[in-house]
């Protein structure tokens, strides 16, 4: 199942997967993580269609060089990469918890270290301060890890489920993520192109987190090369801020309030 914002692009991707894997059945679900209305509709469709969900990969990512907002007015990075994933996971959680061995994989970035002092709870949507895309991106990626670690703690304490939450990051990869970047950043990417790996290699940490039978909840996977920029996947460390349990709980409570999605754990 591919949950996608662009149905046309998703249908093309599903066809390529089906053509490359004999017997594969791939379906497409419309989902716009910048809209709580779309998230709730997609989650309802998925719950109705699938009595079990073995794997959920929260993989949406973006880089917005100018400030943007979701349908609800959330800052775009924070709204899509964190709050959207938080809401979708919460709405599917009962199905995941009732599926033996289910995994929730959330894609972060080594850019989570660019979040400065962490989450600005007084102004998470950059309404009172000058917008800085690097810090906004870092805040969202930090939130991905804070969410993963708090979710894993709650799943581990819940009875009747062995579902786990893990995280991964792709390193630096040759994708279309910065296609709308200012020319200075596009030139920089071109100059540093030799440091970036292909998208297939960048996907390996996510795939390992999703499929390796030895994975345990709360682990974080990334490329094993210098600076976690490229290479084959291994368990990597995250910032001390991401491991701050009171910060994880505070973000969780704020996320429930902002999205209106209350978790069953």
- Residues with a catalytic annotation lie at 137
Contacts 24+ apart (CB under 8 A), 128-136: 131/66, 131/67, 133/63, 133/64, 133/65, 133/66, 133/67, 133/77, 136/64, 136/67, 136/75, 136/77, 136/78
Calculate the alpha carbon distances from 105 to 41, 54, 168, 206 in Å. Answer: 21, 11, 7, 7
CA–CA separation, 256 and 5 (whole Å): 23
Q: What's the alpha-carbon Rg for the chain, to the nearest Å?
A: 18
CA–CA separation, 202 and 175 (whole Å): 9
Phi-psi region of 61 (alpha: psi -120 to 50; beta: other; left: phi over 0): beta
- Which residues have CB under 8 Å from 94's CB, separation 6+? 264
- Cα angle value 216/220/225 (rounded, 5°): 125
The enclosing H or E element of 166 equals strand 164-168
């Amino acid at each position: 199942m591919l949950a996608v914002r662009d149905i046309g692009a998703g249908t093309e991707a599903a066809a390529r997967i089906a053509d490359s894997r004999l017997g594969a059945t791939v379906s497409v679900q419309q989902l716009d993580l910048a809209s709580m209305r779309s998230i709730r509709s997609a989650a309802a469709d998925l719950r109705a269609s699938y009595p079990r969900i073995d794997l959920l990969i929260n993989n949406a990512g973006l880089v917005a060089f100018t400030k943007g907002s979701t349908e609800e007015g959330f800052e775009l990075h924070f709204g899509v990469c964190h709050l959207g994933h938080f809401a979708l996971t919460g709405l599917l959680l009962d199905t995941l918890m009732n599926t033996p061995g289910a995994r929730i994989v959330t894609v972060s970035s080594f850019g989570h270290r660019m979040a400065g002092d962490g989450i600005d709870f007084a102004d998470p949507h950059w309404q009172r301060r000058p917008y800085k895309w690097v810090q906004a991106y870092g805040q969202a990626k930090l939130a991905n890890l804070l969410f993963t670690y708090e979710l894993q703690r709650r799943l581990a304490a819940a009875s009747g489920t062995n579902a786990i939450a893990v995280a991964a990051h792709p390193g630096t990869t040759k994708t279309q993520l910065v296609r709308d970047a200012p020319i200075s950043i596009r030139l920089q990417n071109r100059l540093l192109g030799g440091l970036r790996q292909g998208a297939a290699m960048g996907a390996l940490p996510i795939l390992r987190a999703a499929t390796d039978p030895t994975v345990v909840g709360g682990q974080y996977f990334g490329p094993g090369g210098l600076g976690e920029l490229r290479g084959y996947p291994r368990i990597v460390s995250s910032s001390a801020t991401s491991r701050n349990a009171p910060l994880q709980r505070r973000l969780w409570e704020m996320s429930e309030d902002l999205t209106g999605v209350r978790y069953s754990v």
